Structure 1
Amino acid sequence: MNKRTFYEFFAGGGMARAGLGEEWECLFANDFDAKKADSYRANWGDEESLLVGDIAAVRTENLEGCADLAWASFPCQDLSLAGGGSGLAGTRSGTFWTFWNLIRLLRVEGRAPRSIVLENVCGTLTSNGGEDFRSIVSAFVGSGYRVGAMVIDAAHFVPQSRPRLFVVGIRNDLPIPSSLRAEGPNDEMHPQAMRQALGSLPSGTQEKLVWWSVNLPRGRNIDFADLLEAEPKGVSWHSREETRNLLNMMTERNLSKVREVELRTRELGTLEAGSLYRRTRNGIQRAEVRFDSVAGCLRTPSGGSSRQTVIVVDRGRVRSRLLSPREAARLMGLADTYILPANYNQAYHLMGDGVVAPVVSFIAKGILNSVLARGVLRATG
């Protein structure tokens, strides 16, 4: 069977590639970060298809054939709620337009990708009053695609709270099965901010919108504690004093969570694990903890974000340490065979900047495979 083909823009360590799996063939990958490119090569060994450098230097002649998919997890810094608010006019997130110019040029050459998936933070929906999101949707429609957006939380697949926006476009000449199209939005995948932004688009653009109908999995079979390394590599347990300092940084509400778990694990003789972030609230640094079997959203350790801390309560004994690089990779749905950078900060940054592989797989199996298979039947029938 011929493999489906894809381009991976803003590729990082190749997590979209990991999610697509062996049924897909990478024709081209690009990232400007040399350190991330090292990880890409270490895991995929793909020197020929990987171009390291600014996306502005990519030309259509670098893009082989007519790909079934172009995946782009473009930078989020200017779209994030914690960012500066520049949106698509910003230096980083504005690289979307550089990417899209390549799509336009491929269309002129008769090689527009059959499908396109964008991934970014949910702040995209409200950036500049929703205008940035409308601009993205309009770009799809103006280049010959029907388009639909979804918010999917990775917590359906891995024990990490990580809601992300996915915009899926299908070229106009490919039929979309009716089973994949809902009559309207649903609350889980189509939040109010998305509906408001889309509702103000011109009628001609709205006619090209798709409300994707896919069934998210229920009952995840793995919890945060299940992903923890018995002997963590790359990190050390905090001293008692360091752990005590973290507890002293908690509000009474957060401290009561720890006390409840202390009591429960002491009575039952069990172990429970939670995740903790340090945040600044009203000018005061606080430690905020959760014990709901789900880790907080992985973030890059830059721009003021702290690295995630693991807090383990074993039969009433409280211990703490940083999340290990392997644990971060597991939270992104990557197998333990995935090769991580030796440097802690590089490994953590690589994971925090990535896309959760099982969510990529879900979109591919739930939407892309079905649409692309029908496209082949139509072309050869």
Structure 2
Amino acid sequence: MHSFYEFFAGGGMARAGLGSDWQCLFANDISASKGHSYKANWGDEHLSVKDIYNVQAKDLPANADMAWGSFPCQDLSLAGDGAGLEGERSGAFWGFWKLICDLDAEGRKPKMVVLENVFGALTSRDGKDFELIAKAIASQGYLVGGMLIDAIHFLPQSRPRLFIVGVDAHLKLPEFSHTHTPNPAWHPAAMIRAHNRLSGEAKAAWRWWSVPQNEKPLLTLESLIETHPQSVQWHSEKETRQLLDMMAPLHRRKVLAAQASKSPRVGTIYKRTRDGVQRAEVRFDGIAGCLRTPGGGSSRQTIMVVHGNSIKSRLISSREAARLMGLPDDYKLPEKYNEAYHLLGDGVVVPVVQHLSQHLLLPIAQLNRLSSHQGQKLPRAA
């Protein structure tokens, strides 16, 4: 079994994805409500609820094989204020990285580091933030690379996320773990541009990490919907009519097309402001929009179930949202809807973590544990 630290842990969704192959030695989050959810699902033996700037290297036990950090995205998001790593929230990355540096000074740097954040982390402040992250990782003796992975390849939710993986440069790498050129599946044009902006140590340390595409059968959106949800109520006919009235002609035609179908159709709706007018925008492509943290009414996703002349609507339930994140139904959610939705909107998709672990993190960890047991000196990776 391999070991890890989980920072910005939320409800432990990275831990859920890593599974029984990995042992958590330490978990940290600043939020008391998220800490309560973490404790409810994983216990509090390794949990520390405090600002990451108040965590010290001495608080971290033993030598972990990996450190996972899904640091706050608000200042890096395309919908954010553009503060980037200088912002109060996303700047928490530097508190995390100080811990990695302090562990390195003590001779117990994690062998791997994984960061997860929004797509905007590639482009915020004209790419300067990504460059700073890559330089920081390379400066501590890690190889570094990124992948943009959308949850849509694993679950019916559109949720592209950036995964930055750092691997100690003295570890062996499986041949299949990286490619010599970008892989179009995981390295879009924005990733290539971000790489091209790098220089010096960061450019030399870059690796095009690559994993196979998911071949497991995908769940349908319809299969995740609850008939009798506990956390939300179905809208009244008047409320549903108001939603329909908020739709522009294009989206109203989508509803009419769904009505013409012989089978029930499930759509998802977000409210957006277009030219100063709030609109309800619906999709019936079997994919939910990206779950967000609840900052207002427009951030909450609505579902619409259409069957002939019957049109019903309501907020997406907290259990449905959990299913869209790949969490099992026995995962304990907060009783309050907003707390549950915030926990999930801030989380990392469990099957994506599983895929990364199975096809990149575990092979690296297993290969190097075998080498160290044989007493071989680990050469610097090529």
| TM-score bin (small chain) | over 0.9
Match of 1:286 among 279, 286, 304: 279
Q: Does 1:221 align with 2:218?
A: yes
* Matching residue of 1:368: 361
3-state DSSP class of the match of 1:246?
Answer: helix
Distance 1:341 1:312, change over 3 A: same
Q: Give 1:104-123 correspondences, 5 Å limit.
A: 104-123=101-120
Q: Does 1:320 align with 2:313?
A: yes
Matched to 1:197, the amino acid is A
- Spell out structure 1 runs of 4+ moving beyond 3 A: none
3-state DSSP class of the match of 1:21?
Answer: helix
3-state DSSP class of the match of 1:257?
Answer: helix
Q: Give 1:220-299 correspondences, 5 Å limit.
A: 220-264=217-261, 268=262, 270-299=263-292
Match of 1:354 among 341, 347, 355: 347
Distance 1:260 1:219, change over 3 A: farther
Matched to 1:188, the amino acid is A
CA root-mean-square deviation: 1.2
Contact 2:267 2:304 in 1 (8 A): yes
* Matching residue of 2:13: 15
The more displaced of 295-304 and 353-362 is 295-304
Q: Give 1:128-167 correspondences, 5 Å limit.
A: 128-167=125-164
Q: Give 1:34-183 correspondences, 5 Å limit.
A: 34-45=32-43, 47-183=44-180
Matched to 1:247, the amino acid is L
Distance 1:114 1:304, change over 3 A: farther
Percent sequence identity over aligned pairs: 53
What is the TM-score with the length of structure 2 in the denominator? 0.96
Shift of 1:220: 4.1
Q: Which 5+ residue runs of structure 1 have no aligned equivalent?
A: none
1:170-217, Cα deviation, whole Å (9 max, x unpaired): 111111111111111122311212211211211432221111121121
Shift of 1:317: 1.2
Shift of 1:315: 3.2
* Matching residue of 1:339: 332
Distance 1:340 1:164, change over 3 A: same
Distance 1:220 1:275, change over 3 A: farther
Distance 1:215 1:71, change over 3 A: same
Distance 1:22 1:182, change over 3 A: same
Shift of 1:335: 0.1
1:264-294, Cα deviation, whole Å (9 max, x unpaired): 1xxx2x2110110011112110101111111
Shift of 1:23: 1.9
What is the CA–CA distance in structure 1 between the aligned matches of 2:191 and 2:268, rounded to whole Å? 30
Q: Which 5+ residue runs of structure 2 have no aligned equivalent?
A: 375-382
What is the CA–CA distance in structure 1 between the aligned matches of 2:246 and 2:59, rounded to whole Å? 52
1:201-246, Cα deviation, whole Å (9 max, x unpaired): 1143222111112112147421111100121111111011100110
* Matching residue of 1:26: 24
The more displaced of 225-234 and 84-93 is 225-234
